Amino acid sequence: MNDVVNYVTDGNIGVITVNSPPVNALSQAVRQGLLDAIRTAASDDTEAVVIHCDGRTFIAGADIKEFGKPHAEPLLPDLLNEIEASQKIIVAALHGTALGGGFETALSCHYRIALDGAKVGLPEVKLGLLPGAGGTQRVPRLAGVEASLELILSGTPIPAGRAADIGLVDKIVNADLLAEALAYARHLVETGAPVRRTSELAVENVDSSVFDAVFAGLSKRARGQTAPSRIVECVQNAMTMSFADGQKRERELFTECMHDPQSAALQHMFFAERVALKVAGLSDDAPIRDVKSVGIIGGGTMGGGIAMSFANAGIPVTLVEINDEALQRGLTIIDKNYAGSVKRGKLSGDKAADCRGLINGATDYSALGDVDLVIEAVFEDPELKKDIFARLDKVCKRGAILATNTSYQDVNEIAAATKRPQDVVGMHFFSPAHIMKLLEVVRAERTADDVLTTVMALAKRIRKVAVVSGVCYGFIGNRMLQGYFREAQLCLVEGGLPESIDAALYDWGMAMGPISVGDLAGLDVGYKARQAQPEEERGDPAAYRVPDVLVEAGRLGQKSGKGFYTYDADTRTKTWDPEVQAIIEREADALGIERRPIDADEIVDRLIYALVNEGMRILEEGIAQRPGDIDVVYVYGYGFPAWRGGPMHYADAIGLDKVLARIEEFRDRFGDENWAPAPLLTKLVGEGRTLAEWAER
Ligand code: 3HC
Ligand code: NAI
């Protein structure tokens, strides 16, 4: 047919093969090839047709790279309607991940056979879209309304077995997919099976309260997002409209979503996450070291979660603690975390036991002699870390990678404590480490290329999203966070209250407000760091006086039952405490600040633009490789709303000139040198360029 779609006959069966690496996405060439093949099959003497794919997967969706470009015929819904209208039986043979438009292609076929282990799904919502080629109309006809809503609103692919249970797949086979699909097609022909068109089925009727409940739940489940309510509308239409009308409305809403900035932001995130894995100057096929076992030093908050991340990927872990008591404490927390995962249905009991069985404890560094990678996660004390690296240098085998999970320390200095700085790298996980997806990989001056490529590949194995950072205080994420937290504290003393500041950021889309984040992390952490600094180096007292007073009053945050808020001992529900308001007002007074009403727009702009301004500096210094890397850090590590695309994409979407004007306004109004615009921002505005354009330099 063409370069990417082939058509041959096998006896009385026509065989259409899509071969468009890497994931057989529905580019114009694939759509055209499929249309030509279907038309050829319609006019030859075959009796049925099989559609299958070469390579790692059945069609994984529309070609995201074509989004935003002018529509090129044939359009997918028209193609799929023509497939469904065929007079000959068409069987889709699924392997890998049949997603989005790929699964919709399968749904337009009359029968579906899948290899065990295949997955199917409609992940469009994760791109700010809805299935736009009949998915919202065909799935309810096969699987019912409630299963459809779950599949399409979650965007999470389901195993073929589950798909068979709910009527989306007809047959599961264990091997030889194409041969099985041919046999199945012949069987259907021989038994006189009907040409079964999904669009002709009726949708089971459900009470409208089902939709009311789902709509109501969206305010929590999909806070701020526009696509989910449109999805629910489409599924409801499937019940109340004809297929043709339902599909017409689906197309209108799909087009609306496509023009929504949320979809642009989520598409940006899709590519940013994948590009982040590529390290400038290193080729994709650079050599990597074999990592079969891992050692972790320190089984506290971070070490335990890091151990679970590796064990969950089938990699054995040796956890080293200072003594038996500390080791038992660490292992007990790991046991509790696994029990929690089983209780929440995230892991089966057997799987949890298998993973837990991969974690062994030790109290002697000699247990690390044979591991391929060691991750140090002890207290944030530079001297202790250097001492540990000097010891690792003595016990670890040659070629072992030595990583530190430090949040702030200089990885060059840590590396210098060894005689093998080329093997040292930062692996900065986020808490809780077995859940949070982000991994900042800190490339020190002397980190070897193959150490970096190994760690990036390993991140994918343990299902983390990795971003490379250069060495600086706090790396990408925590360095930017300083300005964000500073502005939160300043807004507080200038006129805000913890709940008004939290609400402004939460309503804007952040997973949690900044004041609540402080309570969760523990106010004593920053307090101790400040106490270790000379007073003149602590910056503007207005940015830390209130938390210091709270800590001195024993209000350390959630861990002590009270911080900015007061927490219920059992439920951890937070309540507002007038005592804190009194402290804020008193400190503002002592600092000579006259409190004023401060609105949500100002709060959001000050906090988010503080992130953007520092992000610009980070880019200019080459600490981050590209703007998208910063966006990945903030979305996966700090609860920044993905549908806003991360702080740097957000700045581009608002317009860098507007961002600069607001930053200059803050600089002039507050006379605060922290608001000096980053030179890169001023430069880009002067040149009339966006960050995205700059990134393609
Ligand atoms: N379009 C274009 N390129 C795609 C793509 C797509 N739909 N899906 C993946 N790719 C590219 C990736 O960008 C990557 O390119 P690179 O090698 O140059 O970085 C390459 O394929 C491999 O992707 P991954 O690294 O993600 O490979 P994995 O094996 O880890 O995962 C996957 C494969 C599960 C298919 C994953 O890529 C994925 O989830 N893709 C997106 C699927 C999707 O969202 N489909 C729906 C699209 S919207 C749609 O269909 C609208 C319709 O309803 C009209
Ligand atoms: P933690 O205090 O919970 O745990 C540290 C553990 O290290 C303790 O169990 C302690 O017994 C053990 N330890 C101390 N000295 C040791 C030694 N010589 N040998 C073996 N074990 C030793 O600390 P946490 O929070 O897990 O932090 C660890 C590191 O991770 C720090 O560098 C921190 O900055 C970093 N980090 C912390 C994050 C967090 O949210 N807590 C997030 C990301 C990084």
pLDDT per position as a tens digit, 192-227: 999 999 999 999 888 889 999 999 999 888 999 999
Within this chain, do residues 18 and 89 fall inside the same structural domain, yes or no? yes
**How many Cβ atoms sit within 10 Å of the Cβ of residue 439?**
28
Within this chain, do residues 306 and 394 fall inside the same structural domain, yes or no? yes
Are β-strands 438-442 and 401-404 bridged in parallel, bridged antiparallel, or unpaired?
unpaired
Q: Which residue has the tokens 């920053």?
A: 526
Q: What is the mean pLDDT of residues 400-424?
A: 97
- Mean pLDDT, all residues of the chain: 96
Counting ligand 2 atoms within 8 A of each CB, the residue from 337, 378, 411, 478 with the most, and so the one to mutate, is 378
For the question of residue 200 being annotated catalytic, the response is: no
Asked if the structure places residue 197 within a domain, the reply is: yes
Return the residue whose CA atom lies nearest to atom 16 of ligand 1. 274
Are β-strands 401-404 and 373-376 bridged in parallel, bridged antiparallel, or unpaired?
parallel
Longest dimension (CA), the chain: 91
Express as a percent the part of the chain with pLDDT over 90.
Answer: 93
Task: Give the pLDDT of residue 542.
Answer: 96
Residue 617 CA, ligand 2 centroid: distance in Å: 29
Phi and psi based region of residue 211 (left: phi greater than 0; alpha: psi -120 to 50; beta: remaining): alpha
Q: Is 297 in the pocket of ligand 2 (CB under 6 A)?
A: yes
Within this chain, do residues 119 and 243 fall inside the same structural domain, yes or no? yes
- Ligand having the closest approach to the CA of 377: 2
Q: Is 150 in the pocket of ligand 2 (CB under 6 A)?
A: no
Cis peptide before 382 (omega within 30 of 0): no
Residue 577 CA, ligand 2 centroid: distance in Å: 32
User: Exposed, middle or buried by CB within 10 Å (0-12, 13-18, 19+), for 572?
Assistant: exposed
Within this chain, do residues 355 and 232 fall inside the same structural domain, yes or no? no
Q: How confident is the model at residue 248 (pLDDT cuts 50, 70, 90)?
A: very high
Cis peptide before 432 (omega within 30 of 0): yes
Residue from 50, 151, 51, 145 nearest 99 by CA: 151
Within this chain, do residues 449 and 568 fall inside the same structural domain, yes or no? no
In tens, the pLDDT along 494-520 reads 999 999 999 999 999 999 999 999 999
Residue from 582, 590, 596 nearest 670 by CA: 596
At which of 190, 223, 253 does a domain end? 253
Asked if the structure places residue 436 within a domain, the reply is: yes
Asked if the structure places residue 633 within a domain, the reply is: no
Express as a percent the part of the chain with pLDDT over 70.
Answer: 100
Residue 697, pLDDT above cutoff 80 = no
Within this chain, do residues 495 and 390 fall inside the same structural domain, yes or no? no
Q: What is the mean pLDDT of residues 109-131?
A: 98
Task: Give the pLDDT of residue 384.
Answer: 96
Residue 378 CA, ligand 2 centroid: distance in Å: 3
Q: Is 206 in the pocket of ligand 2 (CB under 6 A)?
A: no
Pocket of ligand 1, beta carbon within 6 A: 22-23, 25, 60-65, 76, 97, 99-101, 104, 123-124, 127, 129, 131-133, 135, 274
At which of 569, 590, 611 does a domain end? 590
Residue 74 CA, ligand 1 centroid: distance in Å: 21
The beta strands (E) that lie in 408-507 are given as 424-429, 438-442, 465-469
Contact 13, 185 (CB under 8 A): yes
- Ligand having the closest approach to the CA of 136: 1
Within this chain, do residues 203 and 318 fall inside the same structural domain, yes or no? no
Asked if the structure places residue 628 within a domain, the reply is: no
User: DSSP H helical segments within 191-260, as ranges?
Assistant: 208-221, 227-240, 243-258
Task: Give the pLDDT of residue 407.
Answer: 93
At which of 253, 281, 303 does a domain end? 253
Residue 307: CATH number of its domain = 3.40.50.720
Asked if the structure places residue 425 within a domain, the reply is: yes
Return the residue whose CA atom lies nearest to atom 28 of ligand 1. 23
Residue 284, pLDDT above cutoff 80 = no
Please provide the DSSP assignment of 518-559 as one string. Answer: HHHH-HHHHHHHHHTS-GGGS--GGGTHHHHHHHHTT--BGG
Question: Phi and psi at residue 205, in whole multiples of 5°?
Answer: -85, 130
Q: How confident is the model at residue 334 (pLDDT cuts 50, 70, 90)?
A: very high
Asked if the structure places residue 439 within a domain, the reply is: yes
Q: Is 305 in the pocket of ligand 2 (CB under 6 A)?
A: no
Asked if the structure places residue 617 within a domain, the reply is: no
Residue 143: CATH number of its domain = 3.90.226.10
Q: Ligand 1, residue 135: give the atom nearest the CA.
A: 53
Report CA Rg, the chain.
28
Please give the residue range of the domain that contains residue 406: 294-469
Q: Give me 333's structure tokens.
A: 């927390």
Are β-strands 294-297 and 373-376 bridged in parallel, bridged antiparallel, or unpaired?
parallel
Residue 525, pLDDT above cutoff 90 = no
In tens, the pLDDT along 3-41 reads 999 999 999 999 999 999 999 999 999 999 999 999 999
- Ligand having the closest approach to the CA of 430: 2
Alpha carbon of residue 646 to chain centroid: 11
Q: Is 409 in the pocket of ligand 2 (CB under 6 A)?
A: no
Task: Give the pLDDT of residue 351.
Answer: 96
Q: Give me 326's structure tokens.
A: 């500390």
Q: Give me 25's structure tokens.
A: 């996405």
Counting ligand 2 atoms within 8 A of each CB, the residue from 379, 383, 405, 517 with the most, and so the one to mutate, is 379
Return the residue whose CA atom lies nearest to atom 24 of ligand 1. 274
Contact 439, 459 (CB under 8 A): yes
Torsion of CA 553, 558, 563, 565, to 10 degrees: -140
Contact 301, 431 (CB under 8 A): yes
CA atoms within 13 A on the CB side of 44: 19
| Total tally of structural domains belonging to the chain | 3
Residue from 661, 647, 656, 696 nearest 680 by CA: 656
Within this chain, do residues 453 and 521 fall inside the same structural domain, yes or no? no
Contacts of 528 (CB under 8 A, 6+ apart): none
Residue 415 DSSP label? H
Contact 675, 613 (CB under 8 A): yes
Within this chain, do residues 211 and 239 fall inside the same structural domain, yes or no? yes
Residue 623 CA, ligand 2 centroid: distance in Å: 25
Q: Is 529 in the pocket of ligand 2 (CB under 6 A)?
A: no
In tens, the pLDDT along 45-92 reads 999 999 999 999 999 999 999 998 888 999 999 999 999 999 999 999
Say how far apart CA 626 and CA 662 lie, in whole Å. 24
In tens, the pLDDT along 136-194 reads 999 999 999 999 999 999 999 999 999 999 999 999 999 999 999 999 999 999 999 99
**Of 66, 84, 124, 233, which is the active-site residue?**
124
- Ligand having the closest approach to the CA of 128: 1
Residue 26, helix vs strand vs coil: strand
Counting ligand 1 atoms within 8 A of each CB, the residue from 4, 18, 20, 23 with the most, and so the one to mutate, is 23
Task: Give the pLDDT of residue 25.
Answer: 98
For the question of residue 124 being annotated catalytic, the response is: yes
Within this chain, do residues 439 and 526 fall inside the same structural domain, yes or no? no
Q: What is the mean pLDDT of residues 318-325?
A: 98
Q: Ligand 2, residue 326: give the atom nearest the CA.
A: 11
Within this chain, do residues 509 and 415 fall inside the same structural domain, yes or no? no
Residue from 268, 246, 50, 62 nearest 139 by CA: 246
Question: Phi and psi at residue 375, in whole multiples of 5°?
Answer: -120, 120
Residue 532, pLDDT above cutoff 90 = no
Asked if the structure places residue 46 within a domain, the reply is: yes
- Ligand having the closest approach to the CA of 21: 1
Q: Ligand 1, residue 278: give the atom nearest the CA.
A: 19
In tens, the pLDDT along 337-380 reads 999 999 999 899 999 999 999 999 999 999 999 999 999 999 98
Q: How confident is the model at residue 280 (pLDDT cuts 50, 70, 90)?
A: confident
Within this chain, do residues 338 and 207 fall inside the same structural domain, yes or no? no
